[in-house]
Structure 1
Amino acid sequence: MKKKFLLFTLMVGLNVMYAQEYKKQIKGNLLFFPVHIFNIGYEQVFNKHWTGQTDILISPWKSFYGRHMLMYMGHLEARYYFRQALEKWYVGSNIGVSIYDLQKMRYWNSDKYQEGFAVMLGCSIGYQIKLTERWNIDLYAGGGNVQSFYHGWYKNKYPKQRYDSARAWNKSGEWMPFRGGAMLSYKF
């Protein structure tokens, strides 16, 4: 009976010690916040090296310096930490989707803009800087392949008129950066 009680106490003690480790993080991007673009995330530890993160980015600007810039983006990412989860260097693999009404950079000096959606598949690299026991800064950058489906419109034509000749969707595929920043993270 004493052995069973001792074993039970040991198992409960180890479980409590394991449960007190920080296994989750919530985070917000410090670089985008000053221009009112919201990028928030949640990261969950799976084991010693692996975590999963989900994040969203919302650019609520219907117009930014006269350019369309309304965008909603979401990502799921698996991360591998070389040392230990939520500490120092990591690499990640991600998939994401985006819905947008924006003016691509090459059209900034024109009256054309694009509305559509995209699917993204890529990777990232990052580093967690420990500030305190619970606070980190997550520096990261990433990119990959983006497959976009969109309609091209003239900005100042009423009723709305398309500038492209596609019957349904224009399609484009590019390799480009689509993630990055400095996330202030809180572990719990």
Structure 2
Amino acid sequence: MIPNVGSEFRISDKLSVQLDVSASFWNSFNGTPLQFVQVFPELRYYTNQDNTGFFAGAHIGFGMFHLTKNRFPFSVSGQKYPKGTYQTGRNNYYGITLGYNYFFNRHWGMELFLGGGSSQSNYKGYNAEGDRIDNIDNSDPENPVITTSGFNKSGEWLPYRGGVMLIYRL
């Protein structure tokens, strides 16, 4: 239940431009931070001439985050992260959205959508005390050193947006 607000503007019979903004400002969600802002400008193509029904869209997105790393028993990298570990950084997104919108009457409708693609992140990792923990220099295996410069980079292909939106048409 994270707020997502969008505005869509029709530019032709089957094309529209939409701008979505999603944000979470929780300092503590289940005892850990979950703060982020994401902005997605998108060009949409509709199969119907009145910009309703099935659509496909191409988008780019930008985001900032301050959130906790995965603490499940396993993760993609095979690492477990202790409680209090968090990351702060920026994202870029490049992808597509598929969806369907349906209007109940002239003004009110509902939209179902799912989007994904490439997510590129630059971030820094910290422990609960605020010390940098993510850049480890292992050039001397006897004395690994945690460095405090630079950003970690991460890139994945994944679904990163989706949901149900209530629509009000002016």
TM-score, scaled to structure 1: 0.76
Residue 72 of structure 1 pairs with residue 7 of structure 2: no
Question: Where in structure 2 are there 5+ consecutive unaligned residues?
Answer: 72-79, 136-146
- 2:68 touches 2:84 (CA, 8 Å); kept in 1? no
Aligned position for 1:40: 5
Cα distance 1:114–1:135, how it changes in 2: closer, same or farther (>3 A)? Answer: same
Contact in 1 for aligned 2:13/2:51 (Cα 8 Å)? no
Q: Which residue of 2 aligns with 1:61?
A: 26
Pairs aligned (count): 150
Structure 1 residues 67 and 108: CA distance shift in structure 2, 3 A: farther
Larger CA deviation: 165-174 vs 113-122: 165-174
Structure whose CA Rg is larger: 1
Mapped partners of 2:9, 2:119: distance in 1: 26
Contact 1:149 1:170 survives alignment (8 Å) = yes
Q: 2:152 aligns with which of 158, 170, 179?
A: 170
Amino-acid identity (%): 35
| 2:122 counterpart residue number | 149
Q: Which has the higher contact order (CA 8 A, sep 6+)?
A: 1
TM-score (norm 2): 0.83
Does structure 1 residue 131 correspond to structure 2 residue 96?
A: no
| Cα deviation digits, residues 71-126 of structure 1 (max 9, x gap) | 01101000000112431100000001000000133567533110000000000100
**Structure whose residues are more often helix by fraction:** 1
Contact 1:135/1:185 (<8 A) preserved: yes
Say if 1:50 and 1:85, in contact at 8 Å, map to a contact too: no
Distance 1:73 1:95 in 2: 11
CA RMSD of aligned residues (A): 1.4
